[in-house]
Amino acid sequence: KGFVSEYNCRTAINFTGGRERVEACRGRWSPMAAPDFLKKLGGKPGKVLVIPDADLRPFAAGATVLAEPPKREKVQGVAVRPRRPEEIARDLHPHRAVIHEDGFIWTVIPKRPAMEALGVDVTFEDLLEIALRTDLVDNKTLAFSDTEYGIRFVVPKHLRRA
């Protein structure tokens, strides 16, 4: 469930500890994004990312991508697509709880001209207003498509626990 490539399914044995989980993901490959996109996200090959939206998973080609966070493990990063401002406030704290101290949370939102067509009313200002009430800061933006871009939030180095 939630893996984006055959490579990721094979490497998932190390993470999930079981062949049955790997067998369950066979036949669910998504088209791959450019190989360097994972690096642009701040991810590393083989690291675990949580990406609930299936259509965002190809952007993390090379990582082990899960649809849901593991129960007792931390992950390198999370990528989400909030549709309403209230989703940001509801989901940000749980996402922050599952990333490593040097991890990241990408929030993918529409560019202003595409907001109405995509039916999303989350703005950059909405994200900042909520995220900056936490220990997260924005440190990068990246175009995901002609209509969407992402903002990466991280814990500043001086606030990271050892």
The set of residues, in sequence order, having a beta carbon less than 8 Å from that of 154 and lying 6+ positions away, is: 42, 102, 103, 104, 105, 136, 137, 139
How many CA atoms are closer than 13 Å to the CA of 145, on its beta-carbon side? 13
Give the C-alpha distances (Å, rounded to integers) separating 84 from 23, 144, 162: 36, 19, 34
Cβ atoms 77, 43 nearer than 8 A: yes
Longest dimension (CA), the chain: 46
Nearest to 126 by CA among 96, 95, 86: 86
Per-residue pLDDT tens, the chain, 162 aa: give them.
333 343 344 334 334 444 344 344 433 334 445 557 888 899 998 899 999 999 899 889 889 999 999 988 999 999 999 988 888 888 888 999 999 999 999 999 999 888 888 888 899 999 999 988 889 999 999 998 889 999 999 999 998 886
Q: Is the pTM of this model over 0.75?
A: yes
How far apart, in whole angstroms, are the C-alpha atoms of residue 75 and residue 29? 21
C-alpha R_g of the chain: 16
Written as six digits, the tokens of 39 are 């690096």
What is the identity of the amino acid at 79? A
Instruction: Describe the strand order of the beta sheet including 48-50 as a list of residue ranges.
Output: 64-66, 48-50, 75-80, 99-110, 148-154, 137-143
